[in-house]
Chains A and B, each alone.
Chain A
Amino acid sequence: MAEPRDEKAEVRSGWPLYEVFLRGKRGLNHVHVGSLHAADAQMALHHARDLYTRRNEGVSIWVVAARDITASSPDEKDPFFAPSGDKVYRHPTFYDIPEDVPHM
């Protein structure tokens, strides 16, 4: 039985990683909840349903192959993010909003 076992080990390591995003009933946007292994996107969707919506958390699932995500590098943390750290005035909260402007 050594042969099939080896074969299985090979297949297992071949399943790529998918990132899972859920939208809850009252959530407006999909939020990253974790990752899983699956042979393809359809199976990833099934796995996501089975792993991440067991407690009635979601009404919509997105899965994305982890290899398709382009991420910022931790090495670039300072040049990327530090410059905005002292510029609170970029939030539009320093203006007096007239009474008759809706949806603000």
Chain B
Amino acid sequence: MPELADKQRLDRDFTELYRAHLRDVYSYAYYRIGNHHDAEDITEQTFVQAYRHFERAQRESNGRPLRPWLIRIAHNLAANYYRDRSRRPQTNLDDAAILSAPLDTERVVEEREEVKEVLEGVSKLPDDRREALIMRFALDMDNREIARALGRSEGATKVLIHRAIRQLEQGLKEDQADE
């Protein structure tokens, strides 16, 4: 049984983890699920689960960052979400980055179209490739972190990301050819 002082230290550390990575977990959940409502639920459940297992995770991390562990929890919860509802991710574009851009110019309209195409392309990728891209580009995680979050080797992760980008590139080219 932990002593009170240990528990207070754990709570303090957990508060720091929460503050540092709330946006990461939310961004990951949002891009995986595709809507804000369910992304909020996944984020909440992620931190509740993380709190319950935080002591053990901290003990076993040997000082390594806990972000991959946190994202892995979100990843498992998102996987359950799809299993339970037999859904594919949505690309709820109006709510994401696009609205933050200024309006009016033709260039902005083109950029919005491009962003929309990329997000749609990402949503069509196989789960593991899509997740790796979200972690790399939305969360700015390096190969080592992504490997830990996905439970793969660094080499396999590097290959996974490379193939994901290649597949996306191919898909975008095909879409352009169709138009």
Chain B associates with chain A: no
Partner-A contacts on B (CB < 8 A): none
